[in-house]
Every structure is written in structure tokens, then in C-alpha cells.
Amino acid sequence: MATELLLSLLKRNAVDAADTCDTGNEYDGRMGLRISSIFVIMVGSMIAAVFPVLAKRFGGAGIPPQAYFIAKYFGSGVIIATAFIHLLAPAEEALTDECLTGPISEYCWVEGIILITIVFMSFVELMVMRYSHSSSSHERGIEDMGEGMSDMPVKDGLDHSRKHCDTAMEKNDFTSSEEYAAQLTGIFILEFGIVFHSIFIGLTLAVSGPEFITLYIVLVFHQTFEGLGLGARLATIPWPESKSSTPYILGIVYSLTTPVAIAVGLGVRNVYPPTGRTTLIVNGVFDSISAGILIYTGLVELIAHEFMFSSSFRRAPIRVVLSAFALLCLGAGLMAHSALSLSLSLSLSGPQLLYQNNLRYSLLYQDPLFL
């Protein structure tokens, strides 16, 4: 009897693991609402990402400077919370799922992938900064040689002052070039991480089950807040005239990513398994990469550069610094709270799903333990 019970439990665990990995999804209709999410999220994301750029380009559009200040630092908090709460935690959950076996379950892959991503991002930025430094120095050297060969030396009482002025202007030009290269690298890294993340949350929303309404509401705020953070960053970069369309393109690409992913998810709703083995691994790996990108961007670009190494912040009144830090904490807190709301909605459906699974197994095995 004991042997039969043990074999029954082992068989049940094996089928349970296979079912967890190979099952379909919880799609339960409500197609009209799901289609509406495509347009609602697209409009909210596009307004949040593009409006700061438009407003700043066309004279502020009557918006006070405080609005940009709020959007910039509130958005920084949103991005940092997204990295830790909305990316790292789901990646950990996906890659440690009990149905995954083999090498994927024998190492802390999430932390390893994040470490590799952060090191790679720092290497990329280092190379970009070094290349821009060498390029600027080379161009400046050629200009100086040309000026030295074409102009006769002139000495007067203002010569010393002119030398100091020229040196200061050259230093400012060089610093401006370096800062622009750093900002450009940072914004592309940020866009890359956010877009990857947005693809998978769109697919998840498309095939979600009882928690769809809550997930819908949370993702509207999630994508709008993220777009606000991205748009505020796009607006602060001094784009040259030849690249004036770049911030709009980046904002529109971000706003279209999740809606397109939702549409694709609806198209494959009958075959897309969100808890399948391949899906779990792909989601976990790409969420880990995106988490590494946003952690690097948040801690290095948004906190270290803005708060610790910024000359403007060193000269700013303490109330400005504390206000910026409070806005960062507010953005991070609200983004973390949105994840809590989603977790609570998912936990409410847990007992019902557990009962349904136990009932299915009892009917399958005719086990008296469940009868």
C-alpha cells in the first residue's frame, strides 16, 4: 500500500511539472477590452514620451520649468523601481520555476546575467567616451595646426587675456562634446532596456486570465510613468539640428512596442504558453538583461551623475537637491506599489486555481485522497 502511494505521488509530481510547463494560457475572452488596451496604452505612452520633447522644443508651450524638473526626477525613480521590482523579481521567478530542470536550474542565472550586462554596459560606455575623447582631441589638434600656419603671431596688451579666453572656450567645447556623447549613449541604453521589457509585458497582458482588468490598469500607469521618465530624459539632451527628429523617433518606438506586442499576443493566443519551458527561459533571460541595463542606467546615469557628480547640483540650494531626491523616491515608491497591487490581484485567484488543479488530479487518478 505504501509503495503504491509513493508511486502515485511520484507520478503526480511528474505530471504536475509537465503540466506546469506545457499548459496553454488563461485567456478567457473579453476581446473588446483587450483590443482597447492596444490603443489606450499606445496613446498614454506616446503622450508621456513625446510631449516633454515637443513642449521644450516649441518654447515650453506655457509649461513652467518646475514641470520638467518633476518629470525628470520622478521618471528616474520609476526607471530604478522598474529594474528591481518589475524586471529582476519576475526574472528570478521565471528562471527558478520548479518545472525547469537541467543546467538552467543549477546556477543563479539571473544574478549572473545581470552582472555580465552591467560589465558590458560599462565597457560600451567606456569605449564610447574614449572614442569621443580621441576624436575631439584629433579635430582640435588639426584646427590648432591650421590656425598656427595661417595666422601671424600678434602680440599686444590683450594677448594674455585672449589666450585665457581661447583656452576656456576650447575646454567648454570639449566638455560639451563629451557630455553629449555620454548622454547619447545613456539614452540609447535606456531605450534598449525599456523596449525589451515592454515586449514581454504586452504578450503577458494579451493572454492573461482573471487578473486581466487589474493588469490592464497597472500597465496603463506603468507604461505612462516609464514614458514620462524616458521623455524627460529625451528633452534634456541638446540634440543638434541634424538629429532633431531622433527624440521623436525614440519616443514613438517606445509607445508602439507594448501595443504591437499585445496585438501579436492576441494573434497567437491559442498557442502561446506563458508558463511553457521555452517561454519561461526566454522571459527570464531577457528580463535579466533588461534589469541589468536599467540598474546600470539608474545607478550610474540617473543617481551618480545627476546627484553626486553634477556641478549644477553641487551649486544648487539644498531645497532643490532634497526636492529632486524626494521626487525620485516618490516615483520609485509608486512604481513599486503598482507591482504590489498586481501581486495582490494574482494572489486572489490562487485558491481557486489550486482547487481546480486538485479536482483535475483527483478525477484523473481516482485517488481516494481527493475524494
Looking at the domain assignment, is residue 158 inside a domain? no
CA distance 89 to 283: 12
Find out whether 86 and 336 touch, Cβ atoms under 8 Å.
no
Q: How many residues does the chain have?
A: 371
Looking at the domain assignment, is residue 8 inside a domain? no
- Residue 28: count other Cβ atoms within 10 Å of its Cβ: 10
Looking at the domain assignment, is residue 349 inside a domain? yes
Find out whether 297 and 77 touch, Cβ atoms under 8 Å.
no
Looking at the domain assignment, is residue 135 inside a domain? no
Structural domain containing residue 262: 28-122+187-370
CA distance 26 to 207: 6
Looking at the domain assignment, is residue 15 inside a domain? no
Looking at the domain assignment, is residue 249 inside a domain? yes
pLDDT in tens, 55-103: 777 755 567 777 778 888 888 898 888 889 888 888 888 888 887 877 8
- Residue 239: count other Cβ atoms within 10 Å of its Cβ: 18
Number of structural domains the chain divides into: 1
For 151, list phi and psi in degrees, rounded to 5: -105, 140
Give the three cell numbers for residue 276: 511553457
Per residue, what are the HEC states of the chain? Answer: CHHHHHHHHHHHHHHHHHHHHHCCCCCCCCHHHHHHHHHHHHHHHHHHHHHHHHHHHCHHHHCCHHHHHHHHHHHHHHHHHHHHHHHHHHHHHHHCCCCCCHHHHCCCHHHHHHHHHHHHHHHHHHHHHHHHHHHHHHHHHHHHHHHHHHCCCCCCCCHHHHHHHHHHHHHHHHHHHHHHHHHHHHHHHHHHHHHHHHHHHHHHHHCCCCCHHHHHHHHHHHHHHHHHHHHHHHHHCCCCHHHCCHHHHHHHHHHHHHHHHHHHHHHCCCCCCCCCHHHHHHHHHHHHHHHHHHHHHHHHHHHHHHHHCCHHHHHCCHHHHHHHHHHHHHHHHHHHHHHHHHHHHHHHCHHHHHHHHHHHHHHHHCCHHHC
pLDDT in tens, 239-251: 888 888 889 999 9
> pLDDT value at position 345?
55
Q: pLDDT tens digits for the chain (371 residues)?
A: 444 543 443 344 444 444 456 555 556 667 888 899 999 999 999 999 988 888 777 755 567 777 778 888 888 898 888 889 888 888 888 888 887 877 877 888 999 999 999 999 888 888 877 776 555 555 555 444 454 444 444 445 444 444 444 444 444 444 456 667 777 777 888 888 888 888 888 888 887 777 788 888 888 888 888 888 888 888 878 888 888 888 999 999 999 999 999 998 888 777 666 667 877 888 888 889 989 988 998 888 888 888 888 788 888 899 999 999 999 999 999 888 877 766 655 555 444 433 334 333 333 334 433 33
Residues 6+ apart with CB under 8 A from 68: 52, 56, 232, 235, 236
CA distance 114 to 208: 27
Find out whether 147 and 154 touch, Cβ atoms under 8 Å.
no
Looking at the domain assignment, is residue 178 inside a domain? no
> pLDDT value at position 259?
93
Looking at the domain assignment, is residue 151 inside a domain? no
